[in-house]
Amino acid sequence: MDELVDALVPQLRALVELADQDGHMTDAAAALGVPQSTMSRRIHGLERHLGVPLIVPAGRAVVLTEQARTLVAEIRGPLAEIGGAVTDLAEAADPDHGIIRFGFPLTMGAGVIPDLLAAFSAEHPGIRLDLKQAHGAVLVDDLRGGLLDAAIIIPPPRQLPHVVLANQLIVAVVPAGHRLAHRSTVSLTELAEERFIANPESYNLRTLTDAWCLQAGFAPQVKTEVTEFSTIREFVSRGMGVALLPRSVRPVDGLAEVALRGSGYVREVALVTAVRRPSRVVQRLHDFIVDRAGEWTAADGIRASS
């Protein structure tokens, strides 16, 4: 049995990496730090052991069969946990050093997240943070693929281990000279005739915007679609429309942010980990962030989760 495990673990890791590299054998071999010939032997050895085809040639790459894709989905988590256990043993000898691959949304590059990471680095100078900013769907894929150890994601993916830290407040963003700019609150019905600037339909906030407006009795007239919140704010400041966005960390010239009347105009901010049992170094950052979640304030467009 030990010999079987010794043989299968490298082969299974090779299959997962091949899936992550979209069937490019050379890239997968490089990611694992082995020659391409070794990579190929591992995949074909796994095929022989299982008695099923795992790859099909496709030009300069290969395509994983349905059986291979099913197997990858089943073994990705357990392999990550094995890696975490090995990392734990290494960290036990030197718990103050290590690397954490951490992700957070493009929309949270200022304010509370940089403050938290800077404070963590000051307390733990021996731990290196490899940071990635990306769209939430990319962060989820990277967590699943083992490319990230943990990430802040809005809203949390229900299928991955996570803890809700806070709620992100959503407000109406209008040009500074808009008829509603000096109001303390506004109801969504008062925006029914406005032109909206919003994210594409695949984005979570766009889904919420459409749903909230429909609940208020109208379909938003989305005239401009933009991926980045900062660009949406630029267009709003130029009078191209209004938007529903998180409250900005810093004042933006030409804009007014007005609270939405009623409840429920929030998004959950969550800390998500890649595996059920993160390594000790990753757990250290996890605990650090969770312990300070109560310090997040409405000034950051965020309020502590109740």
Q: Token pair for residue 229? A: 């919140």
Give the model's pLDDT for residue 2.
Answer: 46
Instruction: Give the per-residue pLDDT at 235.
Output: 95
The tokens for 29 are 């071999």
pLDDT for residue 117: 92
| pLDDT value, residue 178 | 95
Q: Please report the pLDDT score of residue 9 as a whole number.
A: 79
Domains along the sequence of the chain with CATH: 1-77 (1.10.10.10), 80-161+270-298 (3.40.190.10), 166-267 (3.40.190.10)
pLDDT mean values, one per 10 residues, the chain (306 residues): 60 85 87 86 87 83 86 79 64 70 83 88 92 88 85 88 89 95 95 95 92 95 91 94 89 91 90 79 90 67 57
**What pLDDT, on a 0 to 100 scale, did the predictor assign at position 1?**
41
pTM given for the model: 0.65
- Residue 153: partners with Cβ closer than 8 Å, 6 or more residues away: 103, 105, 136, 139, 140, 162, 270, 272
